Structures are given as C-alpha cells and as structure tokens.
Structure 1
C-alpha cells in the first residue's frame, strides 16, 4: 500500500524541481526527503524520479503519483473544512426520534428556534412510541424523546438521559359531572369513578397507576382506547372520566371539562436519550436547549 505522506513528499520534490528545495519547504533535511522518495519507489515497485542536471524530474509513474497526491491533498483539505463546519455546528445532520404528543407541543417550536441558529444542519425526524422503541431495527438516533421517571437509571450503553419537561395529567370529566364545578380535584375523589383508559401499557400508564396507588386506590377501567382524542369522546358520552397529560390536550372536546388534579398530581417526565458522542456536537446541544425551553 502506498504511503500518502510519502506521496506528498514526492509532490513537493516534483513541484520544486529539486530535493534540496523540497526539503527546505517541508522543513526536512535533503537526506530525509531522499529516504522518503526511495521508500515510496520501493512501495510502488518503479522509479519515480530521474536526475536532470542538478535537479530532478518525474518519470511517468512519478507524474501519475504526483497528480494523485494533489487530488488527495485537496480531498484532505475539503475533509478538514467539512469537519471544522461540523464541529462548529454550521453543517451536518442530526437524527431525532419523538413520540406523537411531543410533536406539536414540544418538537415543532424547538425546531423553529433551532433552525434560526443552525440553518444548514439537517434534522431527520421519525416517530416512535413513548418508550422510545424505534420504527426500524438498527436505528441509532442522536436524540430520542422518551417518558422516563426523574430518578430513572442511566440507560445502558453510550447513552445519557437529559431532562426536558414534566407533563402533568389533568382530569377530564363530562360537562355535567358533579366534580366539574371544582377548579381542582383530589385524585382520591376519582377512586369510585368509571375510568376511560387513555394510555397503553408502558411508562405513561405507570405514572398514572403509581399516582393512584399513592392516593390509595386502583382505577377501575371500563373503556380502554389508548388514544387521547378518542378517550375524550368516551368521556363526553358519559362513559367515565379520564386522566390525560396536558400535552395530549391540544384539541379539547367541546363536551368535556379539564381540571387540575392534586394529592398527588400525576406527572409523566419527558427526557431525551442522547448518544454520548453526539453531545460533543454544538448543534445537538443547541437542540437540547431549545427542547428544554419548551
């Protein structure tokens, strides 16, 4: 295999027309330059320079390698420029995975601010569920939005959790419900109600069940739909009450009321799973800040 550094030495000799001049340009001794060229000739298996008077000139093979050395030099310079742009956050690509209810309320406004600061960085967005399960196997995004408790252990592997937002749950009641007259409802007051499930099994449902357990009861689900808009429809029809996170209440059914819950207030915690290597990129850090600012 040809040594690229030696090819650049050959190029300096051919450009200057002499070993001595090339040595002065490179900061080497003439002997060191001659040794590099001799080693390259051994690698190439052919003579690369021939003497002309007090100078040298390239053979056909020498001209060929000199041309490739110039091309490699330009490519290296381009790579260095591209790398500098990437390090500075001027260019590049960030892959982000998000779940549905975080899209409009959290991701969209954050991306609008991010693009002002990094207009030439491309963001690849794909949808996952709240647990962070990727849509495709082998997907290794830079940032994945997930629901994890605040005290959740760090993920295994080269990942780090970054807290983004706490998303409290609200009680969703039919308009004519006796508790609808209250501005705030104790969670225990919902213990004997028929419940409309709005969460599939996973971290979001866990947050609701843990809060209910702390209030001394287990909710009795009569309807399970695993979707916020549909859950509101069942509540509006008088089939029960529901708990829905604030970020899931962007569109509210006209025949329901939404009330704050306390003692305790169920909360799902939205965090970002970030690849450790990606945290070195200014663009990723800017995006995380934008997501935290909400």
Structure 2
C-alpha cells in the first residue's frame, strides 16, 4: 500500500457510522444527506484501498479494517481538536472561528446583542451560526459539527445528558400562556383553567412539545391540539388569529404579532438556556468569552442565570430552584 492521505471529514463520517450503525442515522447526526455520506465513505474506501464496511440488511457493519480505522479516527480527530486548542492558546485567542448551533428564539433574542458586544470586546473571535431544532444541537456538538450550541431544559422535563459534553447556564426563562386578546379575564391563569381551550403546539417528539404536554398532564388534563406547528412565531400568529392558545417563553416574546394577550401562569413553568460544548474544549478562552457575553445580555433582559439555579455534576439536568 502506498502513501494514504486521509480526509478528516471522511474519518468523522466513518466514526459516526461506527456509532450509529446505519448511513441514514450517521448522515442525520452530521447534518448531511445519506447519499453524500455514502459517496464520501466510498471515496474513503478507495483512499484506503480496502473494504471498510458491509451491509447487513438495513444496518452496516464495519469490517476488521474499518474498525481499526474508526478507532484511529477517534484518536486523530481528538488530536486535531487538541492541536486547535493549543494554537488558540499560543495566539491568545486573537483569531478564532467558532460555529454555534442556535434556534429561532435564541437567534432573535440573545445573539444580536451578544455578538455585537463580542465583536467590540474580542474582534478576533468570529462566530458562525447554524439553526437546528433544539433537541438536535447537543448531538451536533458531540459529533464535532459544531463548536458549541444552545440547549434547553424544562423544570419538569430535563433532557438526557452526554457526559462528553459540558454546559454552562446562560439564562432562565419563564413560560406564559399566549391567548387571543380578551380571552382571559384575570391578570394570571392556572394551567388547569386552560384545559377546555384548543391548543397550538409543537409535535410530541420535540422537546418543547413533550415538556408542555407533561406540564398539562401534571395540571390534570391532556391538551387538545388543534394545530401542530414547530415554529413558535407561527404558533403565535395562529393565536393572534383566534385559532387556539399556546405557551411561549420570554425569548419567544422578543417579537410577537398583535391581537394576543400574554398571561403569567400562577404556578410557573421554567426553562433554562445553556451553552453546551465538548468537555475537552473547556480550556478555550474564546468559548468562555462568548459565554460571558451571552450571560451579560441575558442578565440585562432580566433572564440572568444566577437566580438560584445550578447544573449538577452528576450529569442530570434541569433547574435547581426555588422557583420565583
């Protein structure tokens, strides 16, 4: 065998194939199409000059050669990341590029001011963003597609957590009832009082959709979903048109249509916003500069993370309250 030049992106795809077991799942984790991953893995086999995997029905099993390369891929990719960190330290974070996973309300409510402050204080740190569903962002960080991401946890429905990731809480939000204007007579409402209304909710597979449904069940009812939509602003537009009610967070209220009332819940439903990054990247000064800017903006908006909330060391998630 002659000299072999290995592509880092193809090694990352092989590593993910080894973890996931199917090309489709690996492609989803890395945010590529399945055909693109198949083509790149085929090229990797040509680069290596041997068979790296074989299909067993819908699943894929790595050959002995594939397992050897996948194991070395872990070491190679880890070494590349450590080298990147060392270079950043040597350059004192003067020129650093980070890619962040965001979702709509964070992108609209926190990032504009945070990135403006970052540019003024640390002009050498450049942040690119990629919008993903909130439940997908942590996996993209774990797999190396992102340097960090925003993640959420609800007071009654924490996400499972990967021990390879560390998170820093940057904001604490409250959820409110969003209802057509004039629907409710009082200044606050108990969640149970909304049981007879038609609901506009994200699907039950989304973290937000599951969290709201669980909160409603704890209040003694299952919400009747008239409209299932994933984007919060779309849900609010439907509320303003009188089509139903929903819950909305503080950041979701950065922009909202007219024709609706926002009513506090008598028993608050809370959620935390954190920044997740790979634990081995904890020494990156650029990363902590970003976190500090985001925290400062959240605090200016009254969403400061210091309100009696911590993230435990045991890998579990969710706020440690007293709730306000």
TM-score bin, normalised by smaller chain: 0.5 to 0.7
Q: Does 1:258 align with 2:265?
A: no
Match of 1:94 among 92, 98, 110: 98
Length, aligned pairs only: 210
1:242-253 map, 5 Å: 242-253=246-257
List alignment gaps of at least 5 residues for structure 2: 1-83, 299-324
Match of 1:124 in 2: 128
Question: Which deviates further from its counterpart, 97-106 or 244-253?
Answer: 244-253
Q: CA deviation at 1:241?
A: 1.5
The question of whether the paired residues in 1 share the 8 Å contact of 2:141 and 2:147 is answered with no
Give the TM-score normalised by structure 2. 0.58
Q: CA deviation at 1:103?
A: 0.3
Q: Deviations over 1:117-162 (max 9, x none)?
A: 21012222222111134789954322111123476554143x1122
1:74-223 map, 5 Å: 84-86=89-91, 88-133=92-137, 139-149=144-154, 152=159, 154-157=161-164, 159-177=165-183, 179=184, 181-198=185-202, 201-223=205-227
Match of 1:52 in 2: none
CA distance in 2, matches of 1:84, 1:227: 39
Q: CA deviation at 1:258?
A: 1.0
CA distance in 2, matches of 1:91, 1:279: 18
Match of 2:290 in 1: 287
3-state secondary structure, aligned to 1:146 = strand
Question: Which deviates further from its counterpart, 120-129 or 186-195?
Answer: 120-129
The question of whether the paired residues in 2 share the 8 Å contact of 1:199 and 1:227 is answered with no
CA distance in 2, matches of 1:199, 1:168: 20
CA distance in 2, matches of 1:292, 1:200: 30
3-state secondary structure, aligned to 1:212 = helix
Give the TM-score normalised by structure 1. 0.63
Q: CA deviation at 1:240?
A: 1.7
3-state secondary structure, aligned to 1:266 = strand
Q: Does 1:278 align with 2:276?
A: no
CA distance in 2, matches of 1:230, 1:90: 40
Question: Who wins on radius of gyration, i.e. which is larger?
Answer: 1
3-state secondary structure, aligned to 1:229 = helix
